[in-house]
C-alpha cells in the first residue's frame, strides 16, 4: 500500500512490495467493463493496475500514469508486451494531455507515496531510514526538501510545517532548522529528524516527533494538494457519461479537498453524481495486515451525461 504518512511504525514490512489499499472497494467502485477504457493515475507498483488489467478483455484499455521513474520500470515489467496497456510518466494533473476528453470509463487515484518509495532510504521520505533529504516523487523535477530548507526563511518553513503538517510546534521547529543551518546544510533525513526531535517538547506516545514535519515537507515538495485540486476537474472531463472517478486519500488535508471538490463538481457544475455519501474505509482485517491502510478513505463519483 501506500499513501501513508511518513510515520510508519518500525515493524512494517520492508522491500519493494506495495499492497494495494482498499483494492476490492476500488475495483467495485470502478464498475469495470471488460471492453472499457481505464486510467490508473497513480500506478505505483501496479497493484491496482494489475487488478484492472485482469478484468479487461481483449478490447479493454488501460493507461497508467506516475511521475516516479521507478514506477515506469515496474510498469514495463508488469505490462511487457500487453498491447492493452500503456504507461505515461507524467503528473496526474496533466491527464488531459494524455487521455482524450470524454473517453475513459474510469479513473483511479490512490494518492500519496508508495511503500517502496517510503522504504527506500535513497528517496529521503522517511525519518526511520537515514538518507539524502530529497522527498521528490519525480527526482528529475522541482526542488528537493534539502534545497527548500536551505533556501527558505524561517517564516516560510514554519508556515509549511504548520499548514501541511498541522504541527503546533511549527515555529519552534523552523527556528531550530534555521539555527542548525549555521553549522551546515541539512542534507540528510537523519539530521533533520534529530533537529526536529530536539526542538519539540515532550513526546506523543507512539509517534516520532518528526512525523508531522516530514509529512509537511513531502506534501510541499511534491505540491500534493495543488495536484489534487487540479486533477479532479481534469479527470471528470476525461470521463464519458456513466464513467467512474475513484479517489483514495490518506490524510485529512487530502480528503477534505477531494470531498469539497467532488461536491462542487456535483452541485455547481452538474458534472458528476457523488456515489459515496460517506467515504469507504478499510476493514480492521485490512488494517491489521497493512497498517499503512489505517487512514485511507475512498470516495467515488459518476460522470453525468
Ligand atoms: C499510493 S501509491 C499508488 C500505489 C498503487 N495503487 C499500487 O497499488 O501499487 C501513489 C503513487 O502515485 C504517484 N503520484 C503521487 N502523486 C502524483 C502526481 N501528482 N502525479 C503522478 N504520480 C503521482 C507516486 O509516485 C506513487 O507511485
Closest CA to 216 of 138, 255, 174, 162: 162
Give the pLDDT confidence score for residue 229 in this predicted structure.
Answer: 87
Instruction: List the one residue out of 110, 121, 117, 126 whose CA is nearest residue 8.
Output: 126
Give the Å distance between the CA of 44 and the centre of ligand 1: 5
CA of 38 to the centre of ligand 1 (A): 16
Given a contact cutoff of 8 angstroms between Cβ atoms, the answer to whether 42 and 102 are in contact is no
The predicted pLDDT at position 7 comes to: 36
- Give me the pLDDT at residue 186, please: 97
Give the model's pLDDT for residue 303. 96
103 contact partners, CB below 8 Å, separation of at least 6: 37, 238, 240
Q: Ligand 1, residue 66: give the atom nearest the CA.
A: 22
- Position 60 scores a pLDDT of 97
For a ligand 1 pocket test, name from 17, 25, 43 the mutation site with the most ligand atoms within 8 angstroms of its C-beta: 43
Amino acid 18: pLDDT: 67
- Ligand 1, CB cutoff 6 Å, lining residues: 2-3, 18, 20, 42, 44-48, 65-68, 71, 91-92, 110, 112-114, 137, 227
Q: Is 163 exposed, middle or buried (0-12, 13-18, 19+ CB in 10 A)?
A: middle
Q: Give the angle subtended at the CA of 8 by the CAs of 42 and 192, to the nearest 5°.
A: 100
Query: Which atom of ligand 1 is the closest one to the Cα of 108?
Result: 6
pLDDT of the residue at 168 = 94
CA of 199 from ligand 1 middle (Å) equals 32
CB 151 within 8 A of CB 178: no
Residue showing cell 494538494? 225
Q: State the Cα–Cα distance between residues 284 and 293, nearest whole angstrom.
A: 10
Give me 128's grid cell: 526511520
Q: What is the pLDDT along the chain (305 residues), one digit of tens a residue?
A: 344 444 333 223 334 566 788 899 999 999 999 999 999 999 999 999 999 999 999 999 999 999 999 999 999 999 998 999 999 999 999 999 999 999 999 999 999 898 888 888 999 998 888 999 999 999 999 999 999 999 999 999 999 999 999 999 999 999 999 999 999 999 999 999 999 999 998 777 888 899 999 999 999 999 999 999 888 889 999 999 999 999 999 999 999 999 999 999 999 889 999 999 999 999 999 889 888 888 999 999 999 98
Atom of ligand 1 nearest to the CA of 45: 9
Residue nearest to atom 15 of ligand 1 (CA): 112
Instruction: Decide if 250 contacts 113 (C-beta within 8 A).
Output: no
Q: Whose CA is nearest to atom 13 of ligand 1?
A: 42
pTM of the model: 0.91
Amino acid at each position: 500500500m501506500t499513501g501513508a504518512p511518513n510515520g510508519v511504525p518500525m515493524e512494517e514490512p520492508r522491500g519493494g512490495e506495495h499492497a494495494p489499499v482498499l483494492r476490492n472497494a476500488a475495483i467495485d467502485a470502478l464498475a469495470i467493463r471488460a471492453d472499457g477504457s481505464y486510467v490508473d493515475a497513480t500506478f505505483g507498483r501496479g497493484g491496482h493496475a494489475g487488478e484492472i488489467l485482469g478484468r479487461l478483455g481483449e478490447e479493454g484499455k488501460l493507461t497508467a500514469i506516475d511521475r516516479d521513474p521507478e514506477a515506469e520500470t515496474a510498469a514495463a515489467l508488469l505490462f511487457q508486451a500487453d498491447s492493452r496497456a500503456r504507461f505515461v510518466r507524467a503528473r496526474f494533473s496533466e491527464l488531459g494531455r494524455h487521455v482524450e476528453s470524454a473517453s475513459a470509463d474510469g479513473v483511479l487515484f490512490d494518492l500519496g507515496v508508495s511503500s517502496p518509495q517510503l522504504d527506500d532510504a535513497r528517496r529521503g521520505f522517511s525519518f526511520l531510514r537515514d538518507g539524502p533529504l530529497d522527498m521528490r516523487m519525480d527526482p528529475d523535477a522541482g526542488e528537493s526538501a534539502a534545497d527548500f530548507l536551505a533556501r527558505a526563511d524561517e517564516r516560510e518553513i514554519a508556515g509549511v510545517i504548520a499548514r501541511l503538517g498541522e504541527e503546533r510546534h511549527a515555529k519552534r521547529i523552523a527556528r531550530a532548522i534555521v539555527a542548525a543551518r549555521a553549522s551546515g546544510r541539512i542534507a540528510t533525513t537523519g539530521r533533520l529528524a534529530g533537529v526536529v526531535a530536539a526542538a519539540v517538547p515532550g513526546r506523543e506516545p507512539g509517534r516520532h516527533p518528526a512525523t508531522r514535519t516530514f509529512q509537511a515537507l513531502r506534501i510541499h515538495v511534491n505540491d500534493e494538494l495543488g495536484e489534487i485540486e487540479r486533477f479532479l476537474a481534469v479527470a471528470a472531463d476525461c470521463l464519458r457519461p456513466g464513467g467512474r472517478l475513484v479517489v483514495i486519500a490518506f490524510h485529512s488535508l487530502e480528503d477534505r479537498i477531494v470531498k469539497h471538490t467532488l461536491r462542487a463538481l456535483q452541485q455547481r457544475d452538474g458534472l458528476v453524481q457523488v456515489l459515496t455519501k460517506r467515504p469507504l474505509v478499510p476493514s480492521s482485517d485490512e488494517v491489521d495486515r497493512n497498517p499503512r491502510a489505517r487512514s485511507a478513505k475512498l470516495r467515488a463519483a459518476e460522470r453525468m451525461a
